[in-house]
Amino acid sequence: MNVDLHCHTNVSDGALTPMALIDLAIEREIDMLSITDHDTLAAYQAIEDTPANLHIIPGIEFSSQWRKSGVHIVGLNLDIASDAILQGVTQQSKARSERGEKIAEKLQRLGFDNCLEGAKSYTAGGEVGRPHFAQHLVAIGAVTNIAQAFKKYLGAGKAGDIKEQWADIPTVVDWIKESGGVAVLAHPLKYKITRTKLVALLEDFTEAGGEGMEVISGLQVPSVTKDLATLCNKSGLLASCGSDFHSSGQPWAALGKVAQLPDSCKPVWQRWR
């Protein structure tokens, strides 16, 4: 099967509308797809009829905090109308709004005015995230590209790196589980923590009721996939995979261009098939 269980639309920080992403999924002959926008389920309200051969798995990507690190937890196969998940979305939306105000305040101290309004202009009415602030900084000439915006102002340890408002891992996992979903630790290598801390993160995640981890996130070399598969199995977790697609023209995160999970892994979709 062609499976992609992690991608984004313009409801959060992606470039395509939900239906445009669905059209691309059909073009790429994806069999199973989950739209996992950041802290919102709004994309699912915009999806119309889809072909029977495209299995849509309702999903979301929640921001969370572990110790002093920001981490992301994907919820898959959710009941998107459940009280638990709606409570989580409401709480995260409030936190994201407060975070946006704090980022704007810090950028104002650096001499950049009206950044929140500028960031909101790139959201298509959805939640504000750091990529939207980055787009605004590019537009006003503060930086030359998105990568520079993160390097100078928005990345780890910079003015815009604000994460203390997110719900902790047990809370996020509870939202997902109470909605009938499976909690999956997203892109474990993107947190830039030591191996010892990653093992500790997985232990805490599993203890909180987390059930899966992304063994494949976008374009990976086989040795990385093999290592993450081993770590996944040792942790007793189900394996997930996704492109983390945001926009076209990014070959490292191309929708539907995700390698097959190693045979040693137990795929997360076994939970609902």
Q: How confident is the model at residue 165 (pLDDT cuts 50, 70, 90)?
A: confident
Residues 41-53, mean pLDDT to the nearest whole number: 91
User: What would the pLDDT profile of 53-75 be if each residue is shown by its tens digit?
Assistant: 999 999 999 999 998 888 999 99
What is the pLDDT at residue 263?
A: 96
CA angle at residue 109 from 105 to 114, to 5 degrees?
A: 55
pLDDT for res 96: 85
The yes-or-no verdict on residue 174 having pLDDT over 80 is: yes
The structural domains of the chain, ordered by start, are 3-89+166-271 (3.20.20.140), 101-154 (1.10.150.650)
- Whole-angstrom Cα Rg for the chain: 18
pLDDT digits (tens, 9 = 90+) for 143-158: 999 999 999 999 888 8
Burial environment of residue 5 by CB neighbours within 10 A (0 to 12, 13 to 18, 19 or more): buried
Strands of the sheet containing 59-66, edge to edge, are 59-66, 69-76, 182-185, 212-217, 238-242
In this prediction, residues 249-261 reach a mean pLDDT of 96
Tell which phi-psi region holds residue 29, choosing left (phi > 0), alpha (psi between -120 and 50) or beta: left
> What is the per-residue pLDDT for 118?
93
pLDDT for position 125: 65
> Around Cβ 262, how many Cβ atoms within 10 Å?
17
Q: Contact 2/30 with Cβ under 8 angstroms?
A: yes
pLDDT for res 162? 82
Q: What proportion of the chain, given as a percentage, has pLDDT over 90? A: 84
Residue 49, pLDDT above cutoff 70 = yes
Are residues 126 and 132 in contact, defined by beta-carbon separation less than 8 angstroms? no
134 contacts: CB under 8 Å, gap ≥ 6: 143, 146, 149, 150, 154
Please state the rounded mean pLDDT for residues 181-207: 96
Query: What is residue 159's predicted lDDT score, i.e. its pLDDT?
Result: 86
Q: For the segment 92-139, what is each residue's pLDDT rounded down to a tens digit?
A: 989 888 889 999 999 999 999 999 999 988 887 667 888 899 999 999
Of the CA atoms within 13 Å of residue 131, those in its CB half-sphere come to: 15
pLDDT score recorded for residue 126: 67
The Cα–Cα gap between 42 and 60 comes to: 10
Q: Using H for helix, E for strand and C for coil, what is the string for 58-112?
A: CEEEEEEEECCEEEEEEEECCCCCCHHHHHHHHHHHHHHHHHHHHHHHHHHHCCC
Strand-by-strand arrangement of the 32-33 sheet = 3-4, 32-33, 55-56
| Alpha helix positions (H), the chain | 18-27, 83-109, 115-120, 130-139, 146-149, 169-178, 195-207, 222-234
Dist CA 150 CA 161 (whole Å): 9
